[in-house]
Amino acid sequence: MFLQKSFVRLYSLNALKSTSRFNWKRHKVIYGLSCGALSFSIYMAYNSLSRFNDSPNLSTDHFTKYRISYKKDIDEEHFLLELTPILTQNQNLWQIIGSTKIWSVEIKQPEIMVVRNYTPLPFYFDASAGQIQLLKDGENADGKLMFYLKQYKNGEVARWIHGLGINDTVELRGPYIEYEFPNPNHEMKRDRNILKDLEKTTHATEQKQIFKYEPLNILMFTAGTGVVPALQLLLTESPFYGTMHLFHSCKTKSELGPLSKYLDVLDKQNRIKLHMHESSKGGNIKDVNIKELLNQIPEPVPYKEMKSNGPHNNNTNPSLALVCGPDSFITTVAGEKYDFSQGPVGGLLKEKGWDNQNVYKFP
């Protein structure tokens, strides 16, 4: 049986506290959430939403103040941004949420009364090393959040953020769950040692972990900053258990900056099967040889939740497809998405036998 799901409006981390083992038939995702940074909502009751609560922890009930502690341009359009809470936060969202959920936060642009969702990554800026570092297990850097952003011509919030300086203040609210995966009880924790020393692990071979339950494998098509949800799953504490078939489209791989080396290591260690499509090299997904591309896209296979795993299980075939990117990209890959409804599955995925039971198009 393929994956059944009903899409409803967002829910917050607060709702997770009373949630037992996730039922696959009750996927909950939000309208207007980011694929790195794709959607925004204009809120009506601006004054009430702007109130600042003295509680230090990030919450969906109020906005929390952060300061810009690091901002680095990768190129003219893309940049990295680190936000540090004014008051140290004691909750570790990376540990609490793990890789069973894709999540984002809202950032408020107070000048035009707009909020927009952005998906954070588990990094912090290490001033002594002069580079970003992956958070260690059990650490949250006092609540710091790292973002990979792009300035779109019509992207009011990202352009406003880019114009701010170090120590300028922004306000955040969240976290909001964009997508939720099965959460097997008493599953072992996935190791992240391969990500500690990227120079060594590029050439080393990871020892295979045998999980209690057969992992869910997924297919992801991403474009631009739409790669961030995939990276969040792959890099967070206790990373995604299954294999990810990742088809990423961009102008050039260099626009990923320091994030590209993590994709290389994950590909080398067989945690992902990476297919890069760089338009600067003639690899635009709309222009490549469609027959050749279709041969690379796997067909869907049924997923049996909570199926016991075995030492000789080498299954990497995907049961779920997620698509994240601009509207034109989503249409090419999976058919047009209609506002807050998914619309029928079309495009490349339809050609390979995927349908609405196993495909989700991010807003």
Does 175 sit behind a cis peptide bond, omega within 30 degrees of 0 on the bond before it? yes
* Residue 154: predicted pLDDT: 80
d(CA 263, CA 195): 10
Beta bridge partners, 133, equal 124
Angle at 110 between CA 104 and CA 116, to 5 degrees: 25
Q: Any idea which residue has 């059990």 for tokens?
A: 138
Query: Are 194 and 269 contacting, i.e. CB atoms less than 8 angstroms apart?
Result: yes
User: Which amino acid makes up residue 172?
Assistant: L
Strands (E), 75-232: 78-85, 101-109, 114-118, 123-126, 131-134, 145-150, 169-180, 218-223
pLDDT means per 10 residues, the chain with 363 residues, are 38 42 36 45 41 71 97 98 95 93 97 95 97 94 97 89 98 97 82 76 65 90 98 95 96 98 95 96 85 95 77 79 96 91 95 97 91
Whole-number pLDDT of residue 308: 74
Longest dimension (CA), the chain: 58
Task: For residues 226 and 206, give the distance between their C-alpha atoms in angstroms, rounded to a whole number.
Answer: 27
72 with 126: CB under 8 angstroms? no
| Residue 37: predicted pLDDT | 46
Asked whether residue 227 is marked as a ligand-binding residue, the answer is no
User: Nearest CA to 241 among 192, 200, 198, 277?
Assistant: 192
Cβ atoms of 337 and 361 closer than 8 Å: yes
Q: Give buried/exposed letters for 60-91 (b at 16+ CB in 10 A, else e).
A: bebbbbbebbbbeebeebbbbbbbbbeeebee
Q: Which regions of the chain carry the CATH code 3.40.50.80?
A: 211-361
Q: Which pTM value belongs to this model?
A: 0.85
d(CA 254, CA 259): 9
Residue corresponding to tokens 């540090």: 84
Is 228 marked as binding a ligand? no
Q: How many CB atoms lie within 10 A of CB 106?
A: 25
CATH 2.40.30.10 residue window(s) in the chain:
26-44+56-179
Q: What is the pLDDT of residue 116?
A: 95
DSSP conformation letters of 240-282: -SS-EEEEEEES-GGGGTTHHHHHHHHHHTTSEEEEEEEGGGT
Spell out the alpha helix ranges (H) of 39-124: 46-49, 93-97
Q: Which CATH architecture has domain 26-44+56-179?
A: Beta Barrel (2.40)
pLDDT at position 6:
31
Q: Which two tokens stand for residue 77?
A: 């359009």
Tell me if 150 is assigned to a ligand binding site. Answer: yes
Check whether domain 211-361 has CATH 3.40.50.80, yes or no: yes
